[in-house]
Amino acid sequence: MPVREVDPIRDPEWNELVENHPRAGVFHTPGWLEALRRTYGYESFALTTCSPGVSLTNGLVLCRIDSRLTGRRLVSLPFSDHCEPLIESAEDFNQILGSLEGILQKDRLKHIELRPTSNVMENREGFVQSNRFWLHRIDLRPSLDQLFLHLHRDCVQRKIRRGEREDLVCEQGRSEGLLQRFYQLLLLTRRRQQFPPQPLGWFRNLIDCFGSGLKIYLASKDGHPIAGIVTLRHKDVVVYKYSCSDKSFSRLGGTALLLWRMIQDSKNDGVRELDLGRSDWCNFGLVTYKDRWGSSRSVLTYWRCSVHSRGNLLPGWTMRAARQMLAHLPDSVFAATGRLLYKHVA
């Protein structure tokens, strides 16, 4: 059958596929795609070999990015840790990849990037590895006692117990007040990391699009927010998507306590798996931290197909200088850089 496009936000057939396919996750959902569209203007589409008028049994979802700074390209998907092609048949997948390569040539795109969790892209002609990450997941099916025993005794269990002794106040929800306090912590964290923060509107759009599928967790000490996380849920999998903290209170164990409370809540709500997200290949501190939560680690590879290669827009010294400058901007200007830049990086 010929490959055709489907609107994954408005077409109920796509939502039905996402609800029924065993490998579909948070990043395939219409809610995630709609938040991307509202915040960054990315238009999404899905390619399928299924005929019109029948239920979808396969599909590959992508977003079109049109940036004067970073080029015109297709990504599956922007700001998504991973996005598995929902395709079982090798023949169907080959047809869809062939269609993508035709789009690349016809529209003169910089590249097409796919971010599968499986090895489905290995040895695919025309696609090369563009990046590698580590992906951590925790199986939540064991009992809470068993899960706790799998945590690193000194680096995790002890911090959780410290947070409990400190009488930290842990809240969860998605109110505007909770979001504002979380975002102030995010500004603090991103300034420390010398990276611009995600726009506040991005989180508001996620809340609106996910509803009860999104939770903000916030830990406070004597009324002062010290740690926060945001999770997204699809069916029986929760994604630990965003985290921030006030480093001056790190000894109190706020992040560890919040993550353990989130695991308890998820377990009680029937969640099967916690996705801790990707970690940079050489970020040994973060990788080790996630290992210590009793998670399983796998390699996550991104793949690109391009007509020609292009170097970074800015040399390394320019990037370093820009990051140092970000750390000294006022909050209002610092937040504005995220609104201006994020739609170009994806």
* Tokens encoding 173: 């929800």
SS3 193: helix
Which residue from 246, 250, 98 is spatially nearest to 186, judged by alpha carbons? Answer: 246
Looking at 3.40.630.30, 3.30.450.40, 3.40.190.10, 3.20.20.220, the CATH number of the domain 4-132+302-307 comes to: 3.40.630.30
SS3 111: strand
Cβ atoms of 220 and 197 within 8 Å: the answer is no
Looking at the whole model, is its pTM more than 0.75?
Answer: yes
Angle, alpha carbons 162-197-210 (nearest 5°)? 80
Report pLDDT digits (tens) over 81-98. 999 999 999 999 999 999
Domain 4-132+302-307 identical in fold to domain 141-271: yes
Predicted confidence band of residue 332 (pLDDT cuts 50, 70, 90): confident
Report pLDDT digits (tens) over 162-220. 999 999 999 999 999 999 999 999 999 999 998 899 999 999 999 999 999 999 999 99
Topology, domain 141-271: Aminopeptidase (3.40.630)
* Long-range own/partner contacts, residues 141-147 (CB < 8 A, 24 or more apart): 141/272, 144/263, 144/264, 144/267, 147/263, 147/267, 147/294
223: left (phi over 0), alpha (psi -120 to 50) or beta: left
CA distance 127 to 150: 39
Q: Which of 92-101, 238-247, 306-315 shows the lowest per-residue confidence on average (mean pLDDT)? A: 306-315
Sign of CA dihedral 68, 40, 27, 273: positive
Predicted confidence band of residue 27 (pLDDT cuts 50, 70, 90): very high
- The residue ranges of every structural domain in the chain are 4-132+302-307, 141-271
Residue 320 has pLDDT above 80, yes or no: no
118: how many CB neighbours lie within 10 A of its CB? Answer: 13
Residue 230 has pLDDT above 60, yes or no: yes
Predicted confidence band of residue 333 (pLDDT cuts 50, 70, 90): confident
What's phi and psi for 96, nearest 5 deg?
-70, -40
CA distance 255 to 280: 20
Name the β-bridge partners of 100.
Answer: none
